[in-house]
Amino acid sequence: MANTIDPQWAWAPYLPTAEAPWDLKKVGHLYRRLSFGATWRELEAGVQTGLEKTIDALFKGGDSQEQFELESVTAELKESIREANNGRQASAYWLFRMLYSPHPVEEKFTLFWHNHFATSNAKVLNAGFMLRQYDLMHRYCLSSFRAMLREMSTDPAMMVWLDTRLSKKGMPNENYARELMELFSLGIGNYTEKDIREAARAFTGWEIRDQQPFFNSEQHDAGEKTVLGQTGNWKGEDILRICLEQKSAPFFIVRKLFRFLISETIPASQDLLRPLAEQFRKSDFDIGALVRTMVRSNLFFAPAAYRTRVKAPVDFILGIVRALEGRVGTTALAQAMEELGQNLFFPPSVKGWDGGQAWLNGQTILFRQNLALAFTSTEDARFGRRTDPAALVQKYTKDGETDAVEFFLRLFLQDDLPAESRAKLSQYVQKAQKQNYPVYWTQKDAADQRLRALCHLVLTLPEFQLD
Amino acid sequence: MNFSRRDFLRTSLAGGSLVSLGGTVPAFLSRTAAAAPAAAIPGAKDSILVVVELTGGNDGLNTVIPFKDAEYEKLRPNLKIPSSQVKKINDQVGLHPAMEALAKLLDDSALCVVQGVGYPNPSQSHFRSMDIWQAASTEQSFVEGWLGKALKKLPNPPSFHLAGSNSVSPLALAGAPHRVPTINTLEDFQLRITALSGADKQEQREFIEGVVKKEAGDGNLLDFVQRTASNTYASSRRLQEIGKNYQPKVPYPPSTLANHLKLAAQLIDADIGTRIFYMSIEGFDTHANQLATHANLLRQLSEAMAAFFKDMAERGQKDRILMMTFSEFGRRAAENGSRGTDHGSAAPMLLVGGKVKSGVVGEHPSLTQLELGNLKHGIDFRQVYAAILDQWLGVPSKEVLGKAFEPAAVLQS
């Protein structure tokens, strides 16, 4: 089926038509893929402003970006994490940025690269190094892959994570050279064991001195190496250049971005990816231009790609918090992220999180549903009434409870659910209205309680697990 | 704890909700008690397999140490374990000193050390090699694992992946007729609902469980979510009924692996017919400064496995259990320049249980005849799987492994 997708059509810009109009569903889709979900205002504004302006605004980011960086809470938090070497707080710091930064798209793509250059503080044990690596990825997240790859090779967190700091002339450590080829640039099958061993020699001599990368030429193996068919007295940077000259390199990155941005279920054939890989190579690995082509495309907005990703924990959690317009502390969210299986700065391995269906197993499904309850019930010690669905209904609907089913379904699901589930929700509300409430409750107390339960039920719908 | 498997199955059927669960219900909830696992093959009745994955590539050469071989010290100038400290199994090889607890199981005839296990043309990629071990195949790509395939041949008994949220469901279990649930703790494995009354709670629960029971079209992503959720809710509801006050007969050490083994013991004690448990211990990718890290990991592994065996033995269950360790590969014979070891190939597997052939099976790989600096395998891992499938689980190994492998002599005949 997917083989029939015409690459030319796929990557041509999408233009709204009568059959495929620009509507609430498409705004929701755009915000899920490019950001961390939309608020009610963003959904409504997106429909009104139209496709071009909405996309442009997302890539540009909101006002006051500089101010956000300088804001006391951002800067102070960062400094205290460095000083206390608090890896857990680093995760809370990033979640804070994802939630409150005027430019969430950059945070989303920084996360993509964190999953690509997956480095864990479980081994690095240095929160300052982790934040420095975060800054590196944030700097290049939508610009030059070549520059990011180069700086990453001497990034202190990476040098600890894959042992380059200990790799010495005569007895090289292969860890970094292997993952550079297998996971960072080429993919398995596009190099040999010999390439790895030779490349490892080229990366010898790098150390960390005074918290900075330091090239110790005494420990560098300056001899001749043959890597991927090229022979010379290569240094690390030469290996990176050679890797990016391989045909497989642009395909490898584009394939990963395809799964992240377009779909986990559409098979990404070489033919389908070729135009993107060509663009990426010709642009000297300009990530931003590539991502824009992909997001602007027919395939991005096609039914075939719609709701074909399993929500990552970050999208599940932040999607709910954003939609409920909660001002919550992110330390509790960091804990929740860990329960759902996406502990930022602590990926399970150098391959990162597998994502997709792997996000959902017995335990994590229950954690998701129970977390949805914690957000919506207002009885949870971590979130209290800061993410109260009843308050949201009051803010945005005329008739409160009567409109609530419709409102929640549009806000969280843009109506993507079977009629049968919708009917069951309404039935639940009707039955609940006949309940006996404590005599000391006001009518509003009772209605609010029903709205919270209703919102929880909406969030437990299987359709909500898909992006 | 008097809640038997029969009771479990009976209560499972009592609610009547199973009919509507249709094809998504795990067999252990819908099958009648009469069909409880009782494989016709000798030795396979009610047997339990506990797989322990050593993630990252365990340094086999410092796990089962050829302390008599002069080459060993040459290959490992900084990382060698002095022969005086090795827990000797025979006059040639012994276990790492941190594995004292496991070594003591030799006195109970309950430890089998399979030496030099691997496969031809070994991959040194963590992920590729792990897939090969879990799929028991060297094909280019796979969708099913060896245990998932085995579960298809069994009367679909309950099986569990015991793990924290950071580990994904292993490929080894893929392909099972019903998705094997991942559980961290029983306490967390429940659906919470806030309600004013029991009736309201029931309404909400019925909604949540009802919306995942529809057929969503075979194979699409929504169908996957619904099946996984439906399975989970059903398993969770039943598991809440089993005893929470499990008292181990022996103390378990404080480690994640030990906690998961203790949970396995609890689930075995609940007698719900579980046949396969899968769990892992990570951190074996010791490229640098490995001595202390590796010793610590082996100690955790050894103490947790020994505690589980003793707990089972005290309950008279030791002959029903078989624990098996494996890692995606061993490590390079020679140490590297950072007091660590790079990726290698052949390594030992450890089997623990009342019915293992205790002692050493297979030859220790030669330390002089290396392949690209790596130890050569003498036993294909699928020979060990074949023994476990044919002689322990009662599943024809050929049907799982795709061809006949001569079973390794790891179990008592």
The model's confidence at residue B214, banded by pLDDT at 50, 70 and 90, is confident
Inter-chain CB proximity B167 and A348 less than 8 Å = yes
Inter-chain CB proximity B337 and A361 less than 8 Å = no
Inter-chain CB proximity A173 and B288 less than 8 Å = yes
A 10 A CB-CB count for B148 gives 24
Q: What does the longest C-alpha to C-alpha distance in chain B come to? A: 74
Of B188, B207, B372, the CB nearest to A457: B207
Query: Which residues in chain A are closer than 8 Å to B232, comparing Cβ atoms?
Result: 361-362, 365-366
Token couple for B196? 């004013």
Judge residue A420's burial from the number of C-beta atoms within 10 Å of its C-beta, 0-12 exposed, 13-18 middle, 19 or more buried: exposed
Distance between CA atoms of residues A243 and A250, nearest Å: 10
Token couple for B337? 């320049």
Helix H or strand E encompassing A141: none
Per-residue pLDDT of chain A (467 residues; tens, 9 = 90+): 445 899 999 999 999 999 999 999 999 999 999 999 999 999 999 999 999 999 999 999 998 888 888 776 778 888 889 888 988 899 999 999 999 999 999 999 999 999 999 999 999 999 999 999 999 999 999 999 999 999 999 999 999 999 999 999 999 999 999 999 999 999 999 999 999 999 999 999 999 999 999 999 999 999 999 999 999 999 999 999 999 999 999 999 999 999 999 999 999 999 999 999 999 999 999 999 999 999 999 999 999 999 999 999 999 999 999 999 999 989 999 999 999 999 999 999 999 999 999 999 889 999 999 999 999 998 898 998 999 999 999 999 988 788 999 999 999 999 999 999 999 999 999 999 999 899 999 999 999 999 999 999 999 999 999 99
- Provide the 8-state DSSP code for A303: G
Residues 6+ apart with CB under 8 A from A177: A196, A197, A199, A200, A202, A203, A239
Of A163, A340, A457, the CB nearest to B288: A163
Closest Cα in chain A, distance from residue B208 (Å) = 6
| Cross-strand partners of B160 | B277
Closest Cα in chain A, distance from residue B189 (Å) = 6
Of B167, B226, B340, the CB nearest to A462: B226
- Angstrom CA distances, B34 to B6, B10, B39, B276, stand at 9, 11, 12, 20
Strand (E) positions, A261-386? none
| Cross-strand partners of B281 | B54
Inter-chain CB proximity B221 and A367 less than 8 Å = no
Distance between CA atoms of residues B126 and A319, nearest Å: 34
pTM of the entire predicted model = 0.90
DSSP three-state, residue B6: helix
Alpha helices in A40-86 (DSSP H): 40-49, 51-60, 65-70, 72-84
Q: Is the pLDDT of residue B64 over 80?
A: yes
Query: Which residues in chain B are closer than 8 Å to A425, comparing Cβ atoms?
Result: 207
Distance between CA atoms of residues A284 and A262, nearest Å: 22
Structure confidence at residue B23 (pLDDT): 37
Distance between CA atoms of residues A28 and A40, nearest Å: 10
Nearest-Cα residue of chain A relative to residue B235:
A362
Best A194, A337, A365 residue to mutate vs chain B (most B CBs within 10 Å): A365
DSSP three-state, residue A177: helix
User: Is B264:B311 a contact under the CB 8 Å cutoff?
Assistant: no
Inter-chain CB proximity A366 and B190 less than 8 Å = yes
Query: Which residues in chain A are closer than 8 Å to B161, comparing Cβ atoms?
Result: 361
Query: Which residues in chain B are closer than 8 Å to A316, comparing Cβ atoms?
Result: none
Structure confidence at residue A126 (pLDDT): 96
- Provide the 8-state DSSP code for B391: I
Distance between CA atoms of residues B330 and B343, nearest Å: 7
Fold of B39-189+249-401: Alkaline Phosphatase, subunit A (3.40.720)
The model's confidence at residue B45, banded by pLDDT at 50, 70 and 90, is low
For chain A, count helices (H), then strands (E).
25, 4
Distance between CA atoms of residues B371 and A467, nearest Å: 47
Structure confidence at residue A289 (pLDDT): 98
Angle at alpha carbon of residue A65, lines to A117 and A413, rounded to 5° = 70
| Cross-strand partners of B45 | none
Token couple for A146? 């070549």
Q: Which residue has the higher pLDDT, A216 or B4?
A: A216
Question: CB contacts < 8 Å between A and B, how many?
Answer: 178
Q: Token pair 């439906």 is at which residue?
A: B230
Residues 6+ apart with CB under 8 A from A355: A115, A259, A264, A310, A312
How much of chain B exceeds pLDDT 90, in percent? Answer: 77
Report CA dihedral (B368, B369, B375, B376) to the nearest 10 degrees: -160
Distance between CA atoms of residues B350 and A340, nearest Å: 32
- Per-domain residue ranges of chain B: 1-36+196-239, 39-189+249-401
The distance in angstroms from the start CA to the end CA of chain B is 33
